[in-house]
């Protein structure tokens, strides 16, 4: 129950953290410097997959994690390292569009189990995005869950609330009796 308080304490009073937590924070700071340097070396096209990210600032040895030279903790910048700016822009677009569509669906849905499922999927997309900003997150199990959540929030809306049609849904406009304007 005290885990959220410990997380807040790490931001508000980092000097009161234990040695292990402080070492982890220092590792991530040094790793972020290395990741930013790597991005600046090839910002448009990235390094590609299978390439180590550059380490001009030496990092402590964590060889118990076999991909420590390939996968940094900051998963969103990992996308930029691998695919370049356009790959990074694509993932930001997908996440942003999913949040917009999920918010629109939540606003327009009737109450009931479908609304709860859409809200849960939307909150998962937002939570996972925040998680990937600070930790390693692109693994197969999580990708299945993220893909499922993205498909739920991106699914066309079939029911409308108060006669307000969803965006980009011609059949629902016709069913709601509203005029279609060009």
Q: Which residue has the higher pLDDT, 132 or 85?
A: 85
- Are 71 and 136 within 8 A, CB to CB? yes
The predicted model gives 124-146 an average pLDDT of 90
pLDDT value for 87: 94
Please report, rounded to a whole number, the percentage of residues in the chain having pLDDT higher than 70: 71
pLDDT above 50 (res 182): no
Cβ-count burial 13-30 (b if 16+ within 10 Å, e if not): eeeeeeeeeeeeeeebee
Which DSSP state fits 23? H
The rounded distance, in Å, linking the Cα atoms of 156 and 101 is 9
The rounded distance, in Å, linking the Cα atoms of 140 and 122 is 20
pTM as predicted: 0.71
CA distances from 182 to 117, 168, 170, 172, 179 (A): 32, 12, 12, 16, 10
Structure token pair of residue 108: 């327009």
pLDDT above 80 (res 94): yes
pLDDT tens digits, one per residue of 41-87: 999 999 988 898 888 888 877 778 888 888 888 888 889 999 999 99
- Find the distance separating the first CA and the last CA of the chain, reported in whole Å: 54
Phi, psi of 53 (to 5 degrees): -80, 150
Helix extents (H) in the chain: 3-12, 19-41, 75-108, 113-134, 140-154, 170-176
């Amino acid at each position: 129950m005290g885990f959220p308080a410990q997380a807040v304490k790490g931001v508000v009073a980092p000097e009161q953290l234990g040695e292990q937590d402080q070492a982890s924070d220092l590792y991530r700071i040094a790793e972020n410097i290395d990741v930013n340097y790597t991005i600046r070396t090839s910002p448009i096209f990235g390094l590609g997959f299978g390439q180590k990210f550059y380490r001009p600032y030496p990092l402590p040895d964590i060889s118990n994690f076999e991909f420590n030279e390939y996968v940094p903790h900051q998963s969103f910048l990992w996308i930029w390292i691998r695919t370049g700016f356009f790959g990074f822009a694509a993932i930001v677009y997908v996440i942003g569009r999913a949040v917009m569509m999920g918010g629109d669906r939540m606003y327009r849905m009737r109450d009931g189990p479908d609304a709860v499922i859409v809200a849960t999927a939307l909150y998962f997309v937002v939570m996972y995005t925040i998680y990937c900003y600070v930790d390693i997150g692109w693994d197969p199990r999580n990708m299945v869950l993220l893909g499922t959540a993205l498909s739920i929030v991106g699914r066309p809306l079939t029911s409308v609330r108060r006669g307000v049609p969803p965006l980009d849904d011609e059949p629902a406009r016709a069913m709601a009796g509203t005029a279609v304007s060009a």
